[in-house]
Structure 1
Amino acid sequence: MDHHHLPEHGQDATGGALVWLPPALVLLAAAGAYLLLVRRARRRNPALGWSRWRTGFFLGGTVLLGVALLPPVAPLAHGDFRGHMVQHLLIGMYAPLALVLAAPVTLLLRTLPASRGRWLTAVLHSRPARVIAHPAVALVLSTGSLVLLYFTPLYNAASAVPAAHWLLHAHFLLSGCLFAYAVAGPDPAPARPGVRARLVYLGVAIAAHAVISQLIYAGFRVHINAPVDQVQGGAEIMYYGGDVAELLLAAALVATWRPEPRRAANRGARRGFVPARNVSGGS
């Protein structure tokens, strides 16, 4: 573990507000697009409407991303590993959970023309989508990538190049959304396993997150160019902040879980049970 500060490629740019204008505009555009789709969905089907909770989750997710990508957190993350870890948790765990709970795919399906809706449904049922959206793959992409990031020279290399740093943010966000979607997303997911299996994958993620943070704290084979106190502080943020995020994900899994009556009916049929509505026909 090196004892030098991180490359401060963003320090001299923090004085200019224009540096932070592009990410702010992107976040505002995303929030505006979601609100427009909500308005369209309510106009198409006033009786069905759209949940204010889901709208609130999406707006909350964009706010969390704004906190992570704009001052004061973003400049701090360039020069302090603790700031980087706060940024990582916001982009990779907290914001993705909020965005996924906003059910953006369901909103698209309610607002797209029928032909495009069928195309999106076909994509969701395609083999590549089913593989990528499986919790095991999402787990490797989100939590597993942390091993490559902090235990190889990748983190230091990405920190020294602004474009690579933004790619790292994109990876955190997309992999975090994928894992939250695979475990507890309210959107349709044809390849999503049962609740017990998803709880197992979430448990593995919690354990892996804890082990990685403890290894970083101990300085075991880590490649992080930062003072020891920053590295240990960042590891503590990762440990405790990750626990809170994963508990929220577990709560979302329980809250979004719904019984599957079709499977229950099939099991009942195999046992010789016939639902009452099927035998109450004619007198």
Structure 2
Amino acid sequence: MNVAHQAEPGAMSAGALAAMTVLVLAAAIYLVAARRCHREPRGWNHWRTASFLVGLILLGFALRPSISESFPDHMIGHLLLGMFAPLGLVLGAPMTLLLRTASPSTTRPLVHLLRSRPARILTHPAFLLTAVIGGLVALYFTPLFTIADDHAAVHAAIHAHFFISGYLFAWMIAGPDPGPDRPSVRMRIVVLGVAVLGHAVVAQLIYAGLFVAVDAPPDELRTGGTLMYYWGDIAEILLALALLLTWRPDHRGTAENRGRPATQAVPG
């Protein structure tokens, strides 16, 4: 199963064209909004714009029509779709940009949504760890991989799952955008460590071919496991660096809790 699903040539071209169109439209909307922000006194950070565009490019590469059905090619797409592209997009702070440029009639419902109970559940560390690591286990150690090869809708749902869970996980760890209350920096570091361990275990099992329900030659499994192990580590190191760069102490506390650092990202 490749990230860009192998299908009939016409259907593949239409799907790829639709995906690229959405990505180009997202880039155009972001650039127009960033230009609007540049006219304000606070401006807009060029690094955020660059990060968002890099994220879109990586996402486009992950969704490209694939000429190979090899497992390593699938793994490269998975890493881009679920780890590298979400990190770039998250650091672009698209929600902050939207809240600063959209009309109050648009931003008011968004603020309520970000503070809602479903949003808190979807961004809870336990839920996201289960979604990220559990998704890998379900894909590679159950018949799901084979089923997705035969059903385009399942394939698309898996793509959506990995991208959304990867995006929310990256936001929970280091995202500058506003949202539901996040755990402390110490807890986020622990959660990231658990994710690193989970990825490492899955990668090593794939490398060894143990319990893997993927119909691929042993050499492809070893290559895919190696890619997940090392490039997954790189993505998680970048996420940890992003946490350090976006962390700011919260000095708004009362006298009782002063001295206990909390976190608040500074958008812009």
* TM-score under structure 2 length normalisation: 0.89
Q: Does 1:57 align with 2:47?
A: no
Q: Which runs of 4+ in 1 moved over 4 A?
A: 14-19
Encode CA deviations 1:133-178: one digit per residue, 9 max, x unaligned.
1222112112221111111000111122223222221111111001
Give 1:36's aligned amino acid.
V
Alignment of 1:152-171 (within 5 A): 152-171=142-161
Alignment of 1:34-49 (within 5 A): 34-43=30-39, 46-49=40-43
Cα–Cα, structure 1 residues 264 and 225, in superposed 2: closer, same or farther, change >3 Å? farther
Find the partner of 2:29 among 26, 29, 33: 33
CA RMSD in angstroms, aligned pairs only: 2.4
Gaps of at least 5 residues in structure 2 are: 261-268
Cα–Cα, structure 1 residues 90 and 268, in superposed 2: closer, same or farther, change >3 Å? closer
State the match for 2:118 in structure 1: 128
Distance 2:190 2:156 in 1: 32
Counterpart contact for 1:14–1:75, Cα < 8 Å: no
Encode CA deviations 1:23-76: one digit per residue, 9 max, x unaligned.
211111111111122223334xx21111111111110001001111114xx332
Q: Does 1:82 align with 2:72?
A: yes
Matched position secondary structure for 2:41: coil
State the match for 1:281 in structure 2: none
Q: How many residues align?
A: 259
Structure with more relative contact order (C-alpha pairs < 8 Å, separation 6 or more): 1
* TM-score under structure 1 length normalisation: 0.85
Which stretch has the larger CA shift, 112-121 or 183-192? 112-121
In terms of Rg, which structure is larger? 1
Gaps of at least 5 residues in structure 1 are: 271-283
Identity %: 50
Cα–Cα, structure 1 residues 214 and 40, in superposed 2: closer, same or farther, change >3 Å? same
State the match for 2:106 in structure 1: 116
Cα–Cα, structure 1 residues 16 and 176, in superposed 2: closer, same or farther, change >3 Å? closer
State the match for 1:219 in structure 2: 209
